[in-house]
Amino acid sequence: MVPRYVIDFDLKALPRLKTDVAVIGAGIAGLYTALQASEFADVVLISKRGLDDSNTRWAQGGIAAVTAKTDSPALHRQDTLIAGAGLCAYDAVDVLVHEGPERLQELIAYGTRFDKDEKGRYELTQEGAHSQRRILHAQGDATGAEIVRALSAKVKNNARIKVMEDHFVIDVITDHGECIGALVMQPDGELLFVQCSATVLATGGAGQLYRYTTNPDIATADGIAIAYRAGADIKDVEFIQFHPTALYYPGAPRFLISEAVRGEGAILRNIDGERFMPNYHPQKELAPRDIVARAIVSEMERTNSSFVYLDITHESETLIKHRFPTIYKFCLQYGLDMVTDWIPVAPACHYIMGGVRTDLHGETSTKRLFACGEASCTGVHGANRLASNSLSEAVVFGHRIVQRIKQLQPLADVPELSFSIERKQNPPDMVAQRLKLQKLMLRNVGVKRSEDGLEKALKEIERMDRLFGYEHRSTQAFECLNLLTAAGLTTKAALMREESRGGHYRIDYPSKDDLIWRKHIVLSLEHGVREESNE
């Protein structure tokens, strides 16, 4: 049983920092939202690592927005809806495609330098399931790093933003269903209460649920778990995108080989050297990611291999080194030359489509608590995210969150709340428990799922719930508890959804069932599991 709080506290005994807005997370969602809010409010930006340590920094492909005269919001909307496999929220997608271009211009105004051609025009590329070239990129394949560089510089020089690096948010504090601030562990292990009128969860994704992921080790589902414990609705978490092409090579991490490589002409071959994607989908290598990932797994099973090859050797050396300098250099460290070698790849956990359920202004079902970026579920992605929509979503809904916060009345007096339950001493090794959970999820809640595997996973996760009964005081322990919370939610939803759609594939229910399952699964601490129709 997941408790309301994972640590005991007494607010009147804690040091207190008062501010207008607290933003938790330092990726594109957190940095951008903090900058926007600082135009009218004092902001505390809390990062569990440094400002340059986030999922955004690793985003390679780019940001999707309509800028070309041959493109249109209607085409972008159509591509998004098709990729979302019938579960996108139409109004949220409409917001994204119409407001994305303006937010893109703000990123440029904040100092982001997207790549341009020799005539000074922005270079546009095409990725899987896009019908047009509408992806802007930076430094070839380092778009996220460039955005973080620009936004971080602005944040550091903003007098109204107090940056708290190496601070870990354990929980948000609520009073009668209203968020009143955050309980924070400082670098020395002492607790701090940050009191504020609005709290924004911009904590990133949940890639560390799995043993193999393209995400950094900080992607531990913190926002989802914190919001769930606070009573907020969690939606669509069974839909997890496994990136088809993560580097699979002895001694190398599961480094992301961007979808843009396929967008520029790379093809997939099995270990026998045969191109196989034409056998699986008309769009071949540019099919939606879930289809490509399952096709790769099928080929690996058919050929009894643990990887396939990505081949871009037919393209020019100039193109490869210009468009993919980061990937090229990384592979070269391990003796792989993209110009002449086929690159061994396999699917790895990449992105979670679901998260903390929000409205069109990023507000959760818990008052004064907002969610933005990958931690949120705005409805844009449906069952499967369209490539490069995530960076656009972060800024579009970050802007909308700030517009909503402007309308909030300042927080009234905060009661001196406390929480305490009986907890055991000497918890198990939580690093080992995290690895155990990751392996369990990989085996049973991965690219291909079944009732037997999901039930086995859920029973083991429920046994691991005993970990909540111990007293914990380390970031690693709290991260493990957050992953355990998210794992339970994901597995319950995956077991409940008896069909295959988008990032959720059941081998025992291999078809999409629009008659019964064109709806969402919503989970909350108070109301349990419920279904919600797709409007």
Is-contact 149 59, C-beta < 8 A?
no
Closest CA to 417 of 174, 189, 169: 174
Determine how β-strand 178-185 pairs with β-strand 267-269: unpaired
- Tell me the CA distances in angstroms from 475 to 7, 162, 480, one per residue in order: 12, 22, 9
Distance of CA 124 to the CA centre of its chain: 24
Q: Is 12 exposed, middle or buried (0-12, 13-18, 19+ CB in 10 A)?
A: exposed
From the candidates 134, 149, 289, 501, which is the catalytic residue? 289
Is-contact 142 26, C-beta < 8 A?
no
Closest CA to 22 of 187, 195, 147, 170: 195
Q: Tokens 């597995």 appear where?
A: 491
Asked about 262 being catalytic, the answer comes back as no
Is-contact 53 26, C-beta < 8 A?
yes
Instruction: Provide the sign of the torsion angle of the four alpha carbons 135, 138, 144, 149, taken in this order.
Output: negative
Alpha helices in 415-474 (DSSP H): 430-444, 451-464
Is-contact 387 128, C-beta < 8 A?
yes
Q: Which helix or strand (DSSP H or E) is residue 172 part of?
A: strand 168-175
Based on C-alpha coordinates, what's the Rg of the chain? 22
Is-contact 204 307, C-beta < 8 A?
no
* Separation between Cα atoms, residue 378 and residue 526, nearest integer Å: 21
* Separation between Cα atoms, residue 490 and residue 454, nearest integer Å: 10
Own/partner long-range contacts of 470-473 (Cβ < 8 Å, ≥24 apart): 470/423, 470/424, 470/425, 470/426, 470/427, 470/428, 471/7, 471/8, 471/423, 471/424, 471/425, 471/427, 472/6, 472/7, 472/427, 472/430, 473/7, 473/185, 473/189
Provide the token pair at 502. 């988008």
Is-contact 33 178, C-beta < 8 A?
no
The beta strands (E) that lie in 205-363 are given as: 234-235, 240-247, 267-269, 308-311, 343-352, 355-357
Closest CA to 268 of 308, 320, 327: 308
Helix (H, G, I), strand (E, B) or coil at 327: helix
Q: Which residues of 449-488 are buried (b: 16+ CB within 10 A; e: fewer)?
A: bbeebbebbbebbeebeebbebebeebbbbbbbbbbbbbb
Q: Which positions are annotated as active-site residues? A: 289
